Structure 1
Amino acid sequence: MTEQIVHLLARLEDSTEAEVIDATARPRHGDRKALAKEQAKKIAMGHKADDH
């Protein structure tokens, strides 16, 4: 039983070496219509037109 747990932990440790990409760091990709709609929604909520 202990041997199985050690083996499982070793496998989990190996799987954490893969690079993790943070969702907030990814570049946004979207089509013009969706981006324009989102911009209009933000302006309607009171944001300035040039806010990022």
Structure 2
Amino acid sequence: MTPPPGWYPDPHAPHRQRWWDGTAWTEHRSAPGAPAAPPPGSGTAGRTKAIA
């Protein structure tokens, strides 16, 4: 089973996050704790995350 698209710990730099597009890692990276919006062209634009 493949994980869904989203931000995950970068397998090559665990102190950073990297965008998994559902098929492969992309070149999009983010610092943990930074606002994690989907990268441009990810196909998830317009989706919002519920904040509790």
TM-score under structure 1 length normalisation: 0.18
From the CA coordinates, give the structure whose radius of gyration is larger: 1
TM-score under structure 2 length normalisation: 0.18
Higher helix share: 1
Q: Which has the higher contact order (CA 8 A, sep 6+)?
A: 2
